[in-house]
Amino acid sequence: MKILLYVTLLTLCSLNFYAQENNKKHLIFEIQKRKINIDLDTAIFESFATNMYGSKNKDAIVIALYLPNSYEDQKLKIASVQNDKIWAEKKAYGKTIYTTNYELIKSDKRFVKSEYIISMQDNLCISLTTMLPVNAPKKDKQMIVDIVKSVLKRN
C-alpha cells in the first residue's frame, strides 16, 4: 500500500511539474508574438517573423523578443550561461539595460553582435539583438544605434 501511495504521489508531482513547464513554454510563445515597437527603414529591412528583421542584402539583423522573466532574473540567467562575454549595465530613457558587444565570424565575414536586455514590467523584459558587419559604413552603424533608441523610447 505504501508503494502504491508513493507511486501515486510521484506521478501527481510529475504531472504537475510537466503541466507547469508546458504552460511556461506556451506562455513564452504567446509573449513572443506580441509586437515590439521598432522604428526601422523598411526599404532596408524586411520582416521574416514577428519582431525579427533582416537587411535585404543579408548583412544586418535586428531581433527583439519579449521574455517572461524579470530583468534581474534574466541577468542571473545570462551570468550563469555566458561567462565569456563582458556585460555592462546602463540606464537610458528611463530603462535599465544590460548589454554586451562582441565580434563573431559568419561565412568568412566579421560582424559586431550587440545584445541588450531591457527592463520592463516586474516579470517581463525585452531581449534585443543587432548584428552588423564590422566594416559597415558609419551611416549604417548610426542606423542601428537609432533602432536601439527607438525600442528604448517606444516600449
Tell me the average pLDDT across 17-41. 70
Band of residue 7 on the pLDDT scale cut at 50, 70, 90: very low
The identity of residue 153, as a single letter, is K
The model's pLDDT over 89-131, given as tens digits with 9 standing for 90+, comes to 999 999 999 999 999 998 899 999 999 999 998 789 999 999 9
98 CB-near residues (< 8 Å, 6+ apart): 71, 74, 75, 78, 87, 88, 89, 116, 117
Distance of CA 17 to the CA centre of its chain: 25
Q: How far apart are CA 150 and CA 155, in angstroms?
A: 8
25 CB-near residues (< 8 Å, 6+ apart): none
Query: Could you tell me which residue, 20 or 89, shows the higher pLDDT?
Result: 89
Q: Given a cut of 60, is residue 150 above it in pLDDT?
A: yes
Q: How far apart are CA 28 and CA 10, in angstroms?
A: 27
Question: Cβ distance 45 to 38 under 8 Å?
Answer: no
Question: What is the pTM for the complete model shown?
Answer: 0.80
Band of residue 82 on the pLDDT scale cut at 50, 70, 90: low
Q: Which of 1-15, 16-30, 98-112 has the lowest mean pLDDT?
A: 1-15
Q: Given a cut of 70, is residue 74 above it in pLDDT?
A: yes
Q: Given a cut of 80, is residue 61 above it in pLDDT?
A: yes
Cα torsion through 77, 80, 84, 88, rounded to 10? 50
